[in-house]
Amino acid sequence: MMRALVTGGCGFIGSALVRHLVRDWHAQVVNLDALTYAATLGSVQSVADEANYRFEQGDVCDRALLKRIFADHRPTCVFHLAAESHVDRSIEDPLLFVRTNVLGTATLLEAALDYYRSLKDKADRAAFRLVHVSTDEVFGSLGEGGAFNEETPYDPSSPYSASKAGADHLARAWHRTFGLPVIVTNCSNNYGPFQFPEKLIPLMILRARQGETLPVYGAGENVRDWLYLEEHARARALIAEAGQPGETYCISGQAERRNIEVVHAICDLLDRQLGSLAGKSRRSLIRFVADRPGHDLRYAIDASHLGRQLRWKPQVAFDEGLRQTVAWYLENRAWWLPLTEGREALRRAGLKMASSASHG
């Protein structure tokens, strides 16, 4: 039976992985999360009482805490998802991203290496894996054609993507230098239920629901490759079970869309489900605002290596995934309302920096 340590397991992607491992894999799961602003226990409430689930609150930069967790729970697999992940916020507070994403990763790698070296049983050592979760943003921006793959050189544009690139390099170095069985994954943009309302899709859903303006960067021409959250969790578990240490796997939803197309689709879904606003489509709420600094034009991922080696491919089409996502936010006000009341969650972070750059 898999014994999994998931860092950042109360965040958007981490909570989906926790739910998947507990319910579908019947793994013993330990969820380590600092419960910062974008994490909530509500995202794992459905599995909180399961006998094969444990929660540990703490900071991934806390070496002593990590040592104790490894000793107490003796994981066979570590999924490292604890990270600051919002590009806009990285523009406003880059050093926070360096601390969590770079220092936090190095601290976890050291703790994992100590634990790995302590394993006396050859079978335990052979089975152990550390899956380091990264992003397509480390590769920079694509032109109109082509796609990122496992061989694409790194060219990060934002403090967020630079911090994730640094973490990726550290993970690979701990494998090559110390023999820690690390696997690195790079995924495209995730969407689905339980996403904190600062990201594009939930932000647009909730603002459009309330009849508020919908701020879209530039002309909305930036292209992203969208991956449904549950698909990502399924791929991640498969990689931990059957992937090879030292390998990199790119995960894609194979669903490229311009940002403006995504916002239009959200408006249309809400108009159909809630009715129009005073006889007008919610598309009328769209306002184009100054682009953020370092905003990459296009991301796309070629996931054929993952498909060939592990026979994985996405199963949820974007239109269906988006429909399910919009319906979830409409039906789960109790989850997102406490995250938005009295806070700035429904604003677009980075707008002040974008404005300054546009006038600089």
Is 136 an active-site residue?
yes
**What is the DSSP annotation of 158-201?**
SHHHHHHHHHHHHHHHHHHHH---EEEEEE-EEESTT--TTSHH
Is residue 236 within 8 A of residue 131, CB to CB? The reply is yes
- The residue annotated as part of the active site, out of 84, 88, 137, 291, is 137
- The residue annotated as part of the active site, out of 160, 228, 249, 299, is 160
Is 160 an active-site residue?
yes
- The residue annotated as part of the active site, out of 88, 136, 225, 231, is 136
Who contacts 207 (Cβ-Cβ below 8 Å, separation ≥6)?
Answer: 213, 214, 285, 346
Q: How many CB atoms lie within 10 A of CB 8?
A: 29
- The span from the first CA to the last CA of the chain, in angstroms, equals 57
d(CA 33, CA 62): 12
d(CA 341, CA 59): 25
Is 56 an active-site residue?
no
Backbone angles phi, psi at 275, to 5 degrees: 90, 160
**The two structure tokens encoding residue 65:** 């805490």
* CA distances, 323 to each of 227, 235, 266, 334 (Å): 14, 22, 8, 19
Backbone angles phi, psi at 82, to 5 degrees: -65, 120
Q: Which has the closest alpha carbon to 81: 201, 229, 295, 257?
A: 229
> Which residue type occupies 345?
A
Backbone region of residue 183 per phi and psi (left: phi > 0; alpha: psi in -120 to 50; beta: other values): beta
Q: Are strands 223-228 and 256-258 parallel, antiparallel or unpaired?
A: antiparallel
For 294-318, letters b (16+ CB in 10 Å) and e give: bbbebbbbbbeebeeebebebebeb
- Among all residues, which ones are annotated catalytic? 136-137, 160
